[in-house]
C-alpha cells in the first residue's frame, strides 16, 4: 500500500500544470491532500515495522498486539480518506482542456 500511495503522488506531480491543481493550491486543498497522503504513508510504514518486529522475535505482549491492531485500523481509515480525496481529484480533473489557438 505504501508503494501505491507513492505512485499516486507521482500521478499528482504529473498533472501539476492543470487548472484543478492550481485552484487546489490556492484554496489549500492541495496541502491537505499531501498531508493526508503523508500520514497514510507513515501509518503503513508503522504497520510494516511492527510486522517486522513480530517476525524477528518481539514478544507478543497484549499491549503491543493492541497497538499493532490500532495501527492497522488507523492505516485503513487513512487509506479510505486518501481514496476519497483522490476520487474527488480525478472526478474534477478536466481531461479535455480548451484549445488556446485556432
Residue 77 located in a structural domain: yes
Indicate the average pLDDT of the chain.
Answer: 83
Residue 102 located in a structural domain: no
Residue 59 located in a structural domain: yes
Instruction: Say if CB 78 and CB 99 are below 8 A apart.
Output: no
Residue 6 located in a structural domain: yes
Residue 97 located in a structural domain: no
In whole angstroms, give the CA distance from residue 36 to residue 42.
10
Share of the chain above pLDDT 90, in %: 13
In whole angstroms, give the CA distance from residue 79 to residue 70.
14
What is the three-class DSSP state of 93? coil
Residues in the chain, overall count: 102
Residue 98 located in a structural domain: no
50-89 tens-digit pLDDT? 889 888 988 888 888 898 899 999 999 999 998 898 888 8
Residue 35 located in a structural domain: yes
pTM higher than 0.85, yes or no? Answer: no
Question: Residue 102 has what pLDDT?
Answer: 58
Number of compact structural domains in the chain: 1
Amino acid at each position: 500500500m505504501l508503494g501505491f500511495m507513492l505512485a499516486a503522488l507521482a500521478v499528482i506531480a504529473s498533472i501539476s500544470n492543470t487548472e484543478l491543481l492550481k485552484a487546489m493550491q490556492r484554496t489549500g486543498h492541495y496541502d491537505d491532500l499531501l498531508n493526508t497522503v503523508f500520514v497514510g504513508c507513515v501509518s503503513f510504514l508503522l504497520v510494516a515495522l511492527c510486522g517486522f518486529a513480530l517476525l524477528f522475535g518481539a514478544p507478543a505482549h497484549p499491549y503491543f498486539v493492541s497497538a499493532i491492531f490500532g495501527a492497522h485500523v488507523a492505516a485503513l481509515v487513512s487509506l479510505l480518506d486518501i481514496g476519497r480525496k483522490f476520487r474527488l481529484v480525478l472526478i474534477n480533473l478536466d481531461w479535455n482542456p480548451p484549445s488556446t489557438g485556432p
